[in-house]
Structure 1
């Protein structure tokens, strides 16, 4: 998320306000910022870098799981042959 994301949204909303409302710049800006911050606080956001790290960890874990599953299958086959 860009650093000035909230300020950008607040600015765009303020530009769309009628002229009479633009005079209440400070109050409107504060109101909009509070509203946007409140809405964003309901989301669980992570940085993209953190997401990439978790994605790589998941891929490695998945690869290890596949290798272990294959090994267990092979060991079960050997055990079945020994028992049979």
Structure 2
């Protein structure tokens, strides 16, 4: 999660404080920010854009793998036919 989003989220959390705690807003907002940063860094998150790129790459790789498996099977059947063996 980028720094701007953390700042926005910390600000929203501080803005949602009950009226009695508004005098502590600055301090609590800083605590929210620190807590968000510390916990989000542990999660090893990726951006949606990066995830989508990797998902597309995986889909293309799976398609290529399926095509290669099909070609190998056809070659094995052709080889077995030339050798007079039943196909596997």
In the superposition, the TM-score normalised over structure 2's length comes to 0.74
Aligned residues: 84
Distance 1:6 1:59, change over 3 A: same
Unaligned runs of 5+ in 1: none
Q: Which runs of 5+ in 2 are unaligned?
A: none
**What residue is the counterpart of 1:80 in the other structure?**
80
Q: Mapping of 1:10-25 within 5 angstroms?
A: 10-25=10-25
Q: What do you get for the CA RMSD once the two structures are aligned? A: 2.1
Deviations 1:8-30 (A, max 9, x none): 33223323434453223332221
Give runs of aligned pairs for residues 32-47 of structure 1, distance below 5 A. Answer: 32-47=32-47
TM-score normalised to structure 1 length: 0.76
Query: Would you say 1:70 and 2:59 are equivalent positions?
Result: no
